[in-house]
Amino acid sequence: MELLYNLGILIFSALAQIVSPFNSKASLLVKGRKGWAEKIGNKIKPDDRTVWVHCASLGEFEQGRTVIEGIKIKMPEVKIVLTFFSPSGYEIRKNYPNADCICYLPSDTPSNAAKFVSLVRPEYVIFVKYEFWNNYISALYKKGIPLYLVSGIFRPEQHFFKWYGSFFRSMLRKFERIFVQDERSLALLSGIGMNNVYLAGDTRFDRVVQISGSARDIPQLEQFRGDEKLFLAGSSWAKDEEIIAEYINRDPGKMKWVFAPHEIDRANIERLEKLLKVKYVRFSEYGENGSDARVLIIDNIGMLSSAYKYACIAAIGGGFGKGIHNILEPACWGIPVMFGPRHKNFREAVDLINEKGAMTFDSFGKFSDILDGWLTDEQFYLKSAKAASYYVNKNTGATNKVLHEISQKDINRDSSKFVKN
């Protein structure tokens, strides 16, 4: 199996090279991986103390971010080496100020893994959520460098739990500690004899609370909302927008409406505008005469998390595609949330529905019923809003659990490395 794994890594790398002239993400990955050893050598010196944190993409970075910042507070002298697999993570966070060296993860070959670990020389390593790279895991294990998985989540269909999964299970046994999000993950890992598992929760909850605490004011949104209620469609996709636009066109006066599309290129914004039969305005063109529009379209990146504080109801996109986007950001503001049907693999979505802080729709009729229910029944709305806020608040604290456990492990290994909480 190890031979097949390494062959698969080589094939993937070769394919990335072949398609890079025609695929922007592949091109960024291929170019970004060039000169990785020199980059690390320029940033990390032989006498530096380092911690390596690896995230697949942007979402995993947001989960690991509170842990990174907690390490920097506890150990300001330590240099953070941050790696990404996906261009969507690296390109957006390549200037993140709390990391001292940020680069793409080199292809997981035995030679790359050995060289990377010898250059970085981390005191310990954190992989976030899903990352399992056999050669890196083995290189760290051979050198006795502790490896932790943070905010891990496991499902029965994964390779670890199959009859042929011994190779994949061997990776899990090389982790010093696996911090999981939920009881199901804990039970699955216990069922295959894993005793290095700790139920810590999901660090995303800490991150969204942190984000809400630093939310900026957006005067244009406040002016646009005026004295009316405001509905915000966050990270919306075409199917979400078609359903919401149909409702707006039938009864635009019930609320003010804001779209923050997932894709903000010109063609997509124009497609959205064609769905609307009422006055709309783009945020980039908003002026004094924009407040009488019924719909505002946010055509920039970076505003959405702060925009939620002006809303009373939110619909989160992606549920008609690969899966929903971040529903915790609006929920932490005490906003009832709705989303499309493809949410079963998102623990927070299932939990929020069970807690009555969220609802799901798969058609215009269902969307209309949910929205009308929240708008006409104040007690129903308040109960949903309170449930959303409560769910986020009760699940915070994972970051502190992770940092405490890592500190305790390392104190026992070498009491000179950490200061006890």
Q: What is the pLDDT of residues 143-185, one digit of tens each?
A: 999 999 999 999 999 999 999 999 999 999 999 999 999 999 9
Q: What pLDDT does residue 56 have?
A: 94
Q: Mapping DSSP to helix (H, G, I), strand (E, B) and coil, where does residue 85 land?
A: coil
Picking from 132, 171, 142, 148, the residue whose alpha carbon sits closest to that of residue 51 is: 148
What mean pLDDT, rounded, does the chain reach? 93
Fold (topology level) of 32-201+397-413? Rossmann fold (3.40.50)
CATH 3.40.50.2000 domain span(s) along the chain = 218-394
Tell me the per-residue pLDDT of 99-147, one tens digit each, with 9 for 90 and over. 999 999 999 999 999 999 999 999 999 999 989 999 999 999 999 999 9
Q: Which fold has domain 218-394?
A: Rossmann fold (3.40.50)
* Residue 266 pLDDT > 70: yes
Domain with CATH 3.40.50.11720 in the chain: 32-201+397-413
Place 414 in a pLDDT band, splitting at 50, 70 and 90: low
pLDDT in tens, 8-26: 999 999 999 999 999 988 9
Strands (E) located in 237-360: 256-261, 280-282, 295-297, 313-316, 337-339, 358-360
CA angle, 332 then 333 then 338, to 5°: 80
